[in-house]
Structure 1
Amino acid sequence: MKLSDLINVKSGRILMSGGPKRIARIFINEWVRMGFKVLAEGLPFVVDGEVFIGNPLENPGFDAYLILNPLSKSKSEREVLYGWLAENRDKLVLLYETKYVGDSIVRYGIRNFIDYLLAYRRETVDTEVIKLYCLKNGRIVESKEFIRRGSR
């Protein structure tokens, strides 16, 4: 699986952890460019296209959703979110989390409701590491690591 494959999925739940603003921005911009109607809970980055702002859990009818910091929500908010994710398996949902979660995803309940985990970490000034996990039934079934080194 390549990162470009993930941009082109038509439905699924993608959790991006580590605050990967640049990557999330690319995803949202590409979805808007493809004609998707996107609703965001908020925008921690600037997008080029038209994105609606509102509560994804209360506004059906969009093609793609951006939900912020799902792991930082209260227990009751997470339970409501998990129910919504279970009901909306046919939608494209990007869950953007600022804290880093990689292999430890197996300790979180959200693992049962996501299809992909993109874990972003800046290693040094010029190196970024992205780990991409594919999950099925709450278990990691495939993983890949991508390293980007800046040029100096």
Structure 2
Amino acid sequence: MGDSAIQEGWVMFEGESVRLRALRSEDVEHHLRWRNDPKVVRWAAAGDPCFGPVTAEAIGRGFETMLRLSPRESAVFTVEELAGGRVIGMADYRDLDPYAGVATLGVTIGEKELWGRGHGGRVRRADGRPAPPARHGRFRRLRTCLPLIVRP
């Protein structure tokens, strides 16, 4: 993990070609675009109206809240390509069970031209464990035993 990544924000995992890092205020534009794209909404959340479409105001309020929290508390992360740092998606933990040490990991690759190229699996493998097969080829919901380690 490079020093610049640590200095720019919290990095959760860094894999062979992707990095999971804390949200930044500039990520809001990507989330707004992805969550208002019908194809991304369909694949990312099976058309769940809570995922999208959403207004810029609603996304802004959500980001204000999440940016005040530590990445561990917000449990929402940005997926970047290592080469160049391009933002390509988002990942989140939910259904956290600290006693069992498990959580559900949701990964959405919002950049449609990258769909089917293995980026979701690379996010999952960023902790060094093999990824199970993707459902529907686009969105991955896993029950995982990832340690929730975040480095400042």
- TM-score between both structures, scaled by the size of structure 2: 0.29
Q: Which has the larger strand fraction?
A: 1
- TM-score between both structures, scaled by the size of structure 1: 0.29
